[in-house]
A and B are shown apart, each in its own frame.
Chain A
Amino acid sequence: MKTSSMKSAHRFVAVLLLGAALPALAEPMVTPQQVTVCAACHGADGKAVQPIYPHLAGQYANYLAQALKEYRAGTRKNPIMTAQATSLTDEDIEQLAAYFSAQPGPLYTPNVHGK
């Protein structure tokens, strides 16, 4: 009896783990359609084409999403970015942020003790 309940507990945990792993497997990184628009300034790989534009590659996804939401809301003011962001849905923003965050790039956290 005890063994059987242990077994079912194990099975339960295994199913939980599988459930957690599956979404990651089921949703491979797709290149969002809007990337081509972003690419004109930020580069298709998230490395900016001019130094006045920020690199997006490797930046934290939720920071990128926050930036797009601020542009969309008009609280962060930039004529180019506001025009791009107004038509984006929350889902678009999440996808774009995830895409650029996943690209390898030059960004890093500065070291406070560094010289």
Chain B
Amino acid sequence: MMNSVRCAAAMLALLAAPAALAGGNVDAGRLKANTCMGCHGIPGYNNAYPTYRVPKLGGQPPEYLAAALKAYKSGERPHKTMQAQATSLSEQDIADIAAYLAGSPAQP
């Protein structure tokens, strides 16, 4: 009885883990997120035409960051530069970048 409960729990955990973490690798994400920093790593950096500040990404949940990149990739979110960046990203790239940015080091 206990064994089957444990087995069921393990199977559930296996099923749940990829959905929750999406296999994001922080170290891989650090390298892949290099390009992002050109805009998102500069406090108060402005988007041009229209002018608004490039959003802060540090501290956002990785799930949201991944969803945002996927929406740029699919064209659901309109931003030429972001679409161009996201179009070449694989699912793994997106998961890695999201995992890194969510907990990335802050400005000193």
Contact = CB atoms under 8 A, between A and B. Distances in A.
Interface stretch (B9-17, B57-65, B85-93): B57-65
Given A66-B50, A110-B40, A48 B59 contact: no
Interface residues of B, number: 37
Main secondary structure of the interface of B (DSSP, over half): loop
B23 interface: no
Interface residues of A, number: 28
Interface in A80-106: 105-106
Interface stretch (A1-9, A18-26, A30-38, A56-64): A56-64
B18 to A, nearest CB: 15
A101 to B, nearest CB: 10
Interface string B67-104: 11001000011100000000000000000000001001
B58 A107 contact: yes
Interface in B11-40: 30, 33, 36-37, 40
B107 A108 contact: yes
A20 B59 CA distance: 34
Contacts of A28: none
A16 B37 CA distance: 40
Nearest to A67: B55
Contact of A60 (B56, B105, B106): B56
B78 to A, nearest CB: 4
Contacts of B53: 60, 62-63
A91 B67 CA distance: 29
A76 B53 CA distance: 17
A59 B104 contact: no
B101 to A, nearest CB: 6
Interface of A: 48, 51-55, 58-60, 62-63, 65-66, 70, 75-78, 105-112, 114-115
6 contacts: A52-B61, A54-B64, A60-B56, A63-B52, A105-B59, A107-B56
Q: What 5 A-B pairs are tightest by C-beta distance, nearest first?
A: A114-B105, A51-B61, A60-B53, A110-B104, A106-B59
